[in-house]
Chain A
Amino acid sequence: MTWKILIVEDDADTAKYIAQGLVQEGHVVDLVDDGRDGLFQASSGLFDLIILDRMMPGMDGLSLLRALRASGVATPVLVLSALGTVDERICGLEAGADDYLVKPFSFAELIARAAALMRRQRNGAELTDTRIVVGDLEIDCLKRLVRRNSRTIELQPREYKLLEFLARNEGRVITRTMLIERVWHYHFDPGTNVVDVHISRLRRKLDAGFDRPLLHTIRGAGYRLSAEA
């Protein structure tokens, strides 16, 4: 799928690095290096995603974002910033950002987050689905029942939440920080492999005794729940 992405970023190196990566992934990218031009372009509503730097000449990213949201443009916005404390992240999200990524970041993290935003945008209805199917895995969101190949899988409440989040993002790479933010609602990096342990426990319950694993580890990026390998 090809997305049309607007990058508003004054640092030429960062902008080029992101743009190259996105173009390689097969997307169409527009680059703007000034806040005012950024607002003008973004207001067109023609983009699927806006990647927005927080500190820029002309107009800072959050002012741009507030102006954009005030004028009714709902395009998903991913804010990039060197300002990474918890309060600054919360401030960014409150200004209307859909996600907030702190510099320096890995490209895999950026792609994973962008993909999650696009999914939310395109298939918003899916978020309210009460039944999710991934291959032979079946999740009943109302009863919180998980069955694989007609065999019920007993999960702890947190394991269930983890699985539901991964299943709603079927086929997408989800990073560790995304899981910490979305499943535990923490905005700090615990620093250890705390998420990995949760995942490996979930995997033991989910994939044990089946030939084809559903929960895949993507090296250097995160995890993906998918029927395909």
Chain B
Amino acid sequence: MRLPPIPTTFRIAALTMLLVLCSNIALLGFIHASTYNDRLSPLRRQVIADASALSDIYASGGEPKLAGAIGDMLAADSSELTIGLYDRDGRQRAGNLLPPPKRQFDRSSGFQTASVSLRNGRRGEAGLMTIALKDGGWLMSGRLFGEPLALQRTIERALMISLCLSVLFGVVCAVILAHFVRRRVRAIGRAVDDFGHRDLALRAPTEGSGDVFDKLADHINAMLDRIATLMTELRVLTDSLAHDLRSPVGRLRVKVEQALALTDPDQRDAALAGVLVEADGLTHILTTVLEIGRYEALASRDQFVWLDPGELLDELADLYGPLVDEAGLVLEVARNGPVLPVFGHRQLLAQAISNLIENALKHAASGAVICLFAQSRGDSQCIGVADRGPGIAQDQVEHALSRFGRLDAARTRPGAGLGLSLVQAIAHLHDGKVDLEDNGPGLIAALRIPGAIGRRSSGAAAA
């Protein structure tokens, strides 16, 4: 069974607290250890000196002499000395130290600290040396901690208090940090919320410090920009779609009414054929709008391959050559210098160029040349069509690329104003754009596709 996930802010807080605590424990531990040694070492030296003196006495005179020496020592200084002499069964022979539990003899050797009880009822901490005697008995000799220990205890208390304080500060610090993180995240979250519900102009706040939260906000804002653009476009599109479909539907209706009014079967058939043409035109408009929406919104690269732009143009020239010829124009394929392969959607690129050719056909004057070209410009590959028609004024370019954006000069000709918009959608699908330039006179319309598109998309996938 999996535990429920721990909230990130809580984890940040806990980690901060833990780190503060660890560093403080290390510091306090060091202070404690060094002061403890300072206090204890004089006492330890004395205890060891006492013990070695007593064992010397035992070595020279055996137990009776040792017992006498102990009695003398205790009589001379009874304040701190704690001495006990015991036989092998743990019974006391001399000294003021009550016998400790039997097992303590076995475990003890060298210097140690232990709590002891004296015959006169005193209790306390003492430093002790335990010496095993030759006859199987034990000698314990030591000194009670007096002043040094009290000082040490004071220091320890102070250290404990500071440790508690550090835990407290750690918690406060962690809570503040978590609050700060939560505040920034919440601000971004609120902006996104309000964006969805109230105002497309709202963006996540940034502090200008360039920290991770600013970067996150920047990313989110870029996304919100794109969403806002799409939503605005969608709104405009829905409006203009509804508006621009009225005229073809209107024409369709008129033709049906005319057909209904006809009595001659041949005339009626001809009229109904006209109805079919109108219906097909309407279908074409709807398909194109769907395609534009699809390519602008969903960038699927399943069908992308490396392809040679020159080859693509040759194929299209093959398809359109006769048509251009019949229209009294000349179709040329020009290659200006070497052209690198393009990573793209063969069908859609062909469709885009064919739209540009159709545009050129509509607008070019008789006898003029329509030139299909592919060339490298900087990092990009440009594939496009140059004609000698009326061209598009620079201030009209944006309008020409918008959906249903028909320039006034074209209002009288058939078409829904979707061709360039579809070309642009296809360019966007390839991370590129549409260039509309003056051909002096005429129009150069080209898809500009970044050459590194393959590398970039695979790099993005790797990142």
Residues in B whose Cβ lies below 8 Å from that of A191: 284, 358
List the B residue with the shortest CB-CB distance to A86: B347
Across the interface, B319 reaches (CB within 8 A) one of A85, A87, A184, A187, namely: A184
Q: In the complex, how many angstroms separate the beta carbon of A62 from the nearest chain B beta carbon?
A: 15
Q: How far is the CA of A86 from the CA of B302 in the complex (A)?
A: 12
> What total of chain B residues lie within 8 Å of the partner, measured CB to CB?
29
Q: Of residues B279, B295, B322, which shows the largest number of chain A Cβ atoms within 10 Å of its Cβ?
A: B322
Residues in B whose Cβ lies below 8 Å from that of A85: 287, 290-291, 294-295
B199 at the interface (CB under 8 A from A): no
- Asked if A201 and B322 make an inter-chain contact with CB atoms under 8 angstroms apart, the answer reads yes
Q: How far is the CA of A16 from the CA of B49 in the complex (A)?
A: 117
> What total of chain A residues lie within 8 Å of the partner, measured CB to CB?
23
Question: With A188-B350, A194-B319, A197-B326 in contact, do A84 and B290 touch (Cβ < 8 Å)?
Answer: yes
Residues in A whose Cβ lies below 8 Å from that of B351: 86, 186, 188
Residues in A whose Cβ lies below 8 Å from that of B325: 197
Residues in B whose Cβ lies below 8 Å from that of A186: 319, 347, 350-351, 354
- Asked if B303 and A189 make an inter-chain contact with CB atoms under 8 angstroms apart, the answer reads no
Residues in A whose Cβ lies below 8 Å from that of B126: none
Q: Which residues 275-327 of B sit at the A interface, judged by CB distance below 8 A?
A: 276, 279, 283-284, 287, 290-291, 294-295, 300, 302-303, 315, 318-320, 322-323, 325-326
Residues in A whose Cβ lies below 8 Å from that of B348: 86
B67 at the interface (CB under 8 A from A): no
Q: In the complex, how many angstroms separate the beta carbon of A154 from the nearest chain B beta carbon?
A: 16
B161 at the interface (CB under 8 A from A): no
- Asked if A190 and B287 make an inter-chain contact with CB atoms under 8 angstroms apart, the answer reads no
List the A residue with the shortest CB-CB distance to B419: A191
Q: In the complex, how many angstroms separate the beta carbon of A221 from the nearest chain B beta carbon?
A: 11
- Asked if B347 and A197 make an inter-chain contact with CB atoms under 8 angstroms apart, the answer reads no
List the A residue with the shortest CB-CB distance to B292: A85
Q: How far is the CA of A186 from the CA of B354 in the complex (A)?
A: 11
- Asked if A104 and B283 make an inter-chain contact with CB atoms under 8 angstroms apart, the answer reads yes
Q: In the complex, how many angstroms separate the beta carbon of B332 from the nearest chain A beta carbon?
A: 17
Across the interface, A188 reaches (CB within 8 A) one of B283, B322, B326, B347, namely: B347
Q: Which residues 165-211 of A sit at the B interface, judged by CB distance below 8 A?
A: 184, 186-194, 197-198, 201
B361 at the interface (CB under 8 A from A): yes
- Asked if B287 and A84 make an inter-chain contact with CB atoms under 8 angstroms apart, the answer reads yes
Q: How far is the CA of A187 from the CA of B348 in the complex (A)?
A: 9
Q: How far is the CA of A190 from the CA of B359 in the complex (A)?
A: 12
Residues in A whose Cβ lies below 8 Å from that of B283: 104
Residues in B whose Cβ lies below 8 Å from that of A144: none
A90 at the interface (CB under 8 A from B): yes
- Asked if B287 and A102 make an inter-chain contact with CB atoms under 8 angstroms apart, the answer reads yes
Q: How far is the CA of A87 from the CA of B300 in the complex (A)?
A: 9
Q: Which residues 83-105 of A sit at the B interface, judged by CB distance below 8 A?
A: 84-87, 90, 102, 104
Question: With A184-B315, A197-B326, A198-B322 in contact, do A192 and B350 touch (Cβ < 8 Å)?
Answer: no
A124 at the interface (CB under 8 A from B): no
Q: How far is the CA of A21 from the CA of B227 in the complex (A)?
A: 46
- Asked if B323 and A192 make an inter-chain contact with CB atoms under 8 angstroms apart, the answer reads yes
Known A85-B291, A188-B351, A197-B326; further 16 A-B contacts with Cβ < 8 A: A85-B290, A86-B347, A87-B294, A90-B347, A104-B283, A184-B319, A187-B347, A189-B287, A190-B319, A190-B354, A191-B284, A194-B319, A197-B322, A197-B323, A198-B322, A220-B276
State the 5 A-B residue pairs at the shortest beta-carbon distance, nearest first: A188-B351, A197-B322, A197-B323, A86-B347, A194-B323
